[in-house]
């Protein structure tokens, strides 16, 4: 990428004060904050989606792939076709071998022909992950991607996502300090007062949920949210 790293500089009066969010190229940036603080608005600005707020400032961004808390699968398309959705929507031809490979990578081999309604919540989220990877965009935007999952699935699928997205520029918006501590190469905390960096625990992501450094970071991050 020759273009400048994805970055949002500006303010949204009534929602957030002037701030500067810059993503680390090739790394996972976790944006942690309470609900309603404007995290998703920043993500939508980077995605080029309508936000419904008046933003004054500048957005530098790259072509992005998006995955949200609602996996946003098309219920009338099979798993395989959902994964290859981007090509379908752009009128391109999908590469079936690649689609199959991605479905295997998220551990859903053999379920290509199922409809989303026939899958569990965790499986649906994995389909969304495979679809995000299929887009092969330089920037990946994850908006509370695992918030609707139980603790065990959240760990499993979070780890899977971090491994599969290794090397890409990723923004994970989350309200879960544990998730930020495990998955963030960089951690930014967003509060009504503004945006502040928090040092990430040492080690490559995904980190173990029970490592001492991770637990300490989780506690510190929780403290910052409570402050």
Partner 1 sequence: MRALLAIAAALVLWDAAVRITGLPPYLLPGPVAVAQSLWVNRGEIWPAALLTAYETLLGLAIGAGLGIAVAAAMAAWPRLGRALSPVLVVSQTIPVFALAPILTLWLGFGLAPKVAIVVLIVFVPVAQALHDGLMAPPTAQLDVARTMGAGRWSELRHLRFPAALPRLASGLRLGAIYAPVGAVIGEWVGGARGLGALMIQANGRMKTDLMFAALIVVVALSLTIYGIIDRLLARALARRGF
Do 36 and 192 form a contact (C-beta atoms < 8 A)? Answer: no
Q: Of 20 and 92, which CB lies nearer to partner 1 in the complex structure? A: 92
> Residue 24 interacts with partner 1 (CB under 8 A)?
no
- Residue of 15, 105, 115, 156 that binds partner 1 (CB under 8 A): 115
* Segment contacting partner 1 by CB under 8 A, of 1-9, 44-52, 172-180, 199-207: 44-52
Closest CB 209 distance from partner 1, rounded Å: 27
The answer to whether the beta carbons of residues 10 and 56 sit under 8 Å apart is yes
Q: Which runs of consecutive H residues, i.e. helices, occur in 188-227?
A: 212-226
Instruction: Say whether residue 86 binds partner 1 (CB under 8 A).
Output: yes
Q: Kindly state whether residue 48 participates in binding partner 1, applying the rule CB under 8 A.
A: yes
Q: Residue 194: name the closest of 31, 25, 27 by CA.
A: 31
x/- track of binding to partner 1 for residues 149-188 (CB under 8 A): ----------------------------------------
**Residue 77 touching partner 1 (CB under 8 A):** yes
Count of residues binding partner 1 (CB under 8 A)? 28
Strands (E) located in 61-185: 64-68, 139-143, 169-174
Count of helix runs (H) and strand runs (E) in the chain = 8, 9
Q: Is 216 in the site for partner 1 (CB under 8 A)?
A: no
Q: Does 112 bind partner 1 (CB under 8 A)?
A: no
At residue 220, the 3 state secondary structure works out as helix
DSSP letter (8 states) at residue 186: E
In the chain, beta strands by DSSP E? 7-12, 16-22, 28-33, 56-60, 64-68, 139-143, 169-174, 186-191, 194-198
- Report in angstroms how near the CB of residue 219 gets to partner 1 at its nearest: 33
Which residues bind to partner 1, rule: CB under 8 A?
44, 47-49, 64-66, 68, 70-77, 85-86, 88-91, 115-117, 131, 135, 141
């Amino acid at each position: 990428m020759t273009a400048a790293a994805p970055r949002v500089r500006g303010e949204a009066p009534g929602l957030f004060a002037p701030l500067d969010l810059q993503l680390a190229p090739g790394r996972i940036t976790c944006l942690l904050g309470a609900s309603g603080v404007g995290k998703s608005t920043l993500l939508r600005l980077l995605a080029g989606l309508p936000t419904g707020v008046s933003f004054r400032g500048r957005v530098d961004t790259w072509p992005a792939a998006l995955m949200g808390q609602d996996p946003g699968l098309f219920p009338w398309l099979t798993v395989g076709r959902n994964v290859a959705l981007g090509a379908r929507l752009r009128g391109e031809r999908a590469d079936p071998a690649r689609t199959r490979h991605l479905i295997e990578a998220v551990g859903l081999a053999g379920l290509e022909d199922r409809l989303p309604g026939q899958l569990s919540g965790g499986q649906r989220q994995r389909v969304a992950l495979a679809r995000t990877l299929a887009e092969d965009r330089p920037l990946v935007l994850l908006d509370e991607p695992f918030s609707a999952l139980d603790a065990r699935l959240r760990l499993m699928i979070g780890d899977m996502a971090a491994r599969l997205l290794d090397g890409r520029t990723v923004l994970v918006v989350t309200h879960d300090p544990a998730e930020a501590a495990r998955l963030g190469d960089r951690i930014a905390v967003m509060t009504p007062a503004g945006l502040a960096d928090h040092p990430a625990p040492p080690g490559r992501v995904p980190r173990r949920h029970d490592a001492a450094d991770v637990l300490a970071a989780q506690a510190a991050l929780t403290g910052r949210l409570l402050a």
